[in-house]
Chains A and B, each alone.
Chain A
Amino acid sequence: MDYPGLIKLLAPECVVVLTALAVLFADVKFWRGLPNGRRFGRGVTLSTVGLMAAALFAEFGENSADVLMGTLVLTPVSQFLKLVLLLLTLATVWLCGDTDFTDHVGEFLALLLLAATGMMLLISTENLLMIFVSLELVSLSLYVITAFNKRSSRSAEAALKYFLFGGMAAGFTLFGFSLLYGLCGSIHLPDIALALNTKGSDPLARAAVVMVLAGFGFKIAAVPFHFWAPDAYEGAPAPAAAFIASGSKVASFFILTTLLQSGMPGAAGSGAWKAFVPGWMPIVAILATASMVFGNLAALAQSGLRRLLACSAIAHAGYALLAVLADPPDAKPALLYYVTTYAMTLVGMFGLVSVVERGHGDDSIGRLAGLSQRSPLLAACLSVFSLSLAGVPPLSGFFGKFYVFVALVKSGPSYSSHFWLALVAIAMSCVSLYYYLQVLKQVWVGEPLGDTRPAKVSAALTFVVAGLALGVVLLGCAPELLLAHFR
């Protein structure tokens, strides 16, 4: 494999990196004198061009390769997922369009794009080293953009808490990877899988499983590694929070599934009812249960929209983890459908959060009162997102959950092995309807306080939010559109 060939395979990532550098350069050199709004506008335009170009490369470039001991592995699924990530990045970048939280426009956009690059690299690898480096690239970029609102001390505090937990998780991940390497003699996932078939019950393997799950559990905000989530979601600027909630979840879940199902099937064990075998499956089952229960119960007590979304993120991480337990043919489509539509929903929600904050200064749910009369379109979009998160058909959240349940119950020796998990998930979904209806109650039933004029929102934001809402509805009514790409 020579360098030009490698660059061709890495075309989308290269384009995104170049865009990041271009935005940084242009901002420093040409746009310094302009007001922030104009700078963001131009930065967004330049990023859009770059992201579209990268998307074209991802769609029409090579989609099958395996280079350098699994450092770069391209499959049709991973290339499609790159498209999804680029779309989410695009939506997040457009959310920056009319914000005013920072003077460092070029840096913010560049970091966002670099985080996106890290995510794209993360999903195209089967090599422990590359996983670690990409994971850190994503994490470090996200820590920094969380702190970007220098006028708010909450932003810096959120970033610091995120960083502390993230650093710990990185330490756990690295140690776990080192144990895996030591046991199996290779950092290439297929070789590790082969070795673990015989050494799966070695104490080193068990320790490695626990460590790796601790590290990734942090990334996806599963209980008990979720402590950073409410603070990060609350303190970060809206586009940063949107990106944390969407892109990094998609990428982390994908690589977690690859790692566990392709890399460590030998250490799987079983979380079946009354047939417990030690391994990563029972641990994932426990993480999932704890996340679903804790996330939903904590959300009941929240009065701020951002913290509500954080608790719901914890709960949804639980539901998505259920897909990791399913058998391989079904696991990835179910998981990826769920996480993709969830990510779309969250970016849209954070767009709406930024509208509310711009109008009123804080994000408490009461501020939504009367939105249906001030802006029916935004109210409809909010309803679509909330109901999708609650799991109401015909929206994508419902099908995501349903497909995960089917995949989960199908796996294992009999239908009752994992059925208990599905029951917990269904019960917690009912609980979640309560707090989402409370949000919608404010929107539809509440009377607008004070300002009753139509809410003023920029065209770009409306376009993003409405587009995502439409996507959620469409993918809910015709889930095969997305499922076909994830097989």
Chain B
Amino acid sequence: MTPGLNHYLVVSGLLFSLGLLGVLGRRNLLIIYMGLELMLNAGNLALVSFSRFNGNLNGQVMVFFTITVAAAEVAVGLALIVALYRKRQTAHVEDLTTLKF
């Protein structure tokens, strides 16, 4: 059968949920970042599929920009991990407890 819009959207939704689970459930910061990327790419997939099925190119143009932005975000995030690691020697999110309510 031909994959329709709904199939792509379901995949996109699943990717998003997986990414969210990764961010919320994992302890290692690098894995959390992978979850973030997954969420952003789910959005990209949704954009591309909508673009295909709506018949205009706006979505695909948007994807070009969002991929770039996601890359920049990763760069910043990794720099922050390095900054933190130099101070705290840990990449586990549970060890970030100095700022408490």
A-B contact pairs, 19 of them (CB 8 A): A129-B65, A132-B62, A133-B69, A136-B69, A147-B80, A160-B80, A161-B99, A164-B93, A167-B33, A171-B39, A171-B43, A174-B66, A175-B12, A177-B43, A178-B12, A178-B46, A181-B54, A182-B49, A182-B54
- Distance in Å: Cβ of A355 to nearest Cβ of chain B: 22
Asked whether A363 is an interface residue with its Cβ less than 8 Å from the other chain, the reply is: no
Q: Which of B33, B56, B83 contacts A185 (CB 8 A)?
A: B56
A184-195 vs B, Cβ < 8 Å mask (1 yes, 0 no):
011100000000
**B32, A181: Cβ atoms closer than 8 Å:** no
- Distance in Å: Cβ of A119 to nearest Cβ of chain B: 16
Complex contacts, A159 vs chain B, CB 8 Å: 80, 83
A128, B62: Cα distance in complex, Å: 9
Interface size class of A (residues with CB under 8 A): 35 or more
**B83, A170: Cβ atoms closer than 8 Å:** no
**B47, A156: Cβ atoms closer than 8 Å:** no
- Distance in Å: Cβ of A182 to nearest Cβ of chain B: 3
**B50, A178: Cβ atoms closer than 8 Å:** yes
B30-48 vs A, Cβ < 8 Å mask (1 yes, 0 no):
0011001001101110110
Stretch binding the partner chain, chosen from A13-21, A230-238, A465-473: A230-238
Chain A residues numbered 241-278 whose CB sits less than 8 Å from any CB in chain B: none
Q: Provided the pairs A133-B69, A153-B98 are in contact, do residues A168 and B54 lie with their beta carbons within 8 angstroms?
A: no
- Distance in Å: Cβ of B92 to nearest Cβ of chain A: 11
**A160, B84: Cβ atoms closer than 8 Å:** yes
**A160, B79: Cβ atoms closer than 8 Å:** no
- Distance in Å: Cβ of B7 to nearest Cβ of chain A: 14
Asked whether A327 is an interface residue with its Cβ less than 8 Å from the other chain, the reply is: no
B69-90 vs A, Cβ < 8 Å mask (1 yes, 0 no):
1001100110111011001100
Asked whether A32 is an interface residue with its Cβ less than 8 Å from the other chain, the reply is: no
Asked whether A163 is an interface residue with its Cβ less than 8 Å from the other chain, the reply is: yes
16 further A-B pairs in the complex, CB-CB below 8 A; given A167-B33, A174-B47: A132-B66, A140-B73, A144-B79, A147-B80, A153-B88, A154-B99, A157-B84, A160-B81, A163-B76, A175-B43, A177-B62, A178-B43, A181-B59, A181-B62, A182-B46, A182-B50
Asked whether A143 is an interface residue with its Cβ less than 8 Å from the other chain, the reply is: yes
**A160, B96: Cβ atoms closer than 8 Å:** yes
B49-65 vs A, Cβ < 8 Å mask (1 yes, 0 no):
11101101011011001
Chain A residues numbered 117-175 whose CB sits less than 8 Å from any CB in chain B: 128-129, 132-133, 136, 140, 143-144, 147, 150, 153-154, 156-161, 163-164, 167-168, 170-172, 174-175
Asked whether A421 is an interface residue with its Cβ less than 8 Å from the other chain, the reply is: no
**B47, A181: Cβ atoms closer than 8 Å:** yes
**A157, B99: Cβ atoms closer than 8 Å:** yes
Residues of B contacting A: mostly? helix
Q: Which of A129, A157, A171, A234 contacts B62 (CB 8 A)?
A: A129
Chain A residues numbered 420-460 whose CB sits less than 8 Å from any CB in chain B: none
**A163, B42: Cβ atoms closer than 8 Å:** no
A158, B98: Cα distance in complex, Å: 9
**A234, B99: Cβ atoms closer than 8 Å:** yes
**A175, B72: Cβ atoms closer than 8 Å:** no
Q: Which of A132, A140, A150, A178 contacts B83 (CB 8 A)?
A: A150
**How many residues on B have C-beta within 8 angstroms of the other chain's C-beta atoms?**
47
Complex contacts, A156 vs chain B, CB 8 Å: 80, 83-84, 87-88
Asked whether A23 is an interface residue with its Cβ less than 8 Å from the other chain, the reply is: no
Asked whether A44 is an interface residue with its Cβ less than 8 Å from the other chain, the reply is: no
- Distance in Å: Cβ of B40 to nearest Cβ of chain A: 5
**A171, B16: Cβ atoms closer than 8 Å:** yes
Give B residues with C-beta under 8 Å from A. 5, 9, 12, 16, 19-20, 23, 29, 32-33, 36, 39-40, 42-44, 46-47, 49-51, 53-54, 56, 58-59, 61-62, 65-66, 69, 72-73, 76-77, 79-81, 83-84, 87-88, 93, 96, 98-99, 101
Chain A residues numbered 320-341 whose CB sits less than 8 Å from any CB in chain B: none
**A185, B81: Cβ atoms closer than 8 Å:** no
Q: Provided the pairs A132-B66, A140-B76, A157-B84 are in contact, do residues A168 and B20 lie with their beta carbons within 8 angstroms?
A: yes
A151 nearest CB neighbor, chain B only: B87
**A175, B46: Cβ atoms closer than 8 Å:** yes
Asked whether A86 is an interface residue with its Cβ less than 8 Å from the other chain, the reply is: no
- Distance in Å: Cβ of B32 to nearest Cβ of chain A: 6
Q: Provided the pairs A129-B61, A153-B84 are in contact, do residues A167 and B77 lie with their beta carbons within 8 angstroms?
A: yes
- Distance in Å: Cβ of A280 to nearest Cβ of chain B: 20
**B40, A171: Cβ atoms closer than 8 Å:** yes
- Distance in Å: Cβ of B26 to nearest Cβ of chain A: 11
Complex contacts, A161 vs chain B, CB 8 Å: 96, 99
A156, B29: Cα distance in complex, Å: 13
**A168, B36: Cβ atoms closer than 8 Å:** yes
A179 nearest CB neighbor, chain B only: B46
- Distance in Å: Cβ of B74 to nearest Cβ of chain A: 9
A230 nearest CB neighbor, chain B only: B101
Complex contacts, B83 vs chain A, CB 8 Å: 147, 150, 156, 159
Q: Give the one of B42, B61, B72, B98 with max A CB within 10 A.
A: B98
Complex contacts, B42 vs chain A, CB 8 Å: 171, 175
A158, B99: Cα distance in complex, Å: 8
**B39, A181: Cβ atoms closer than 8 Å:** no
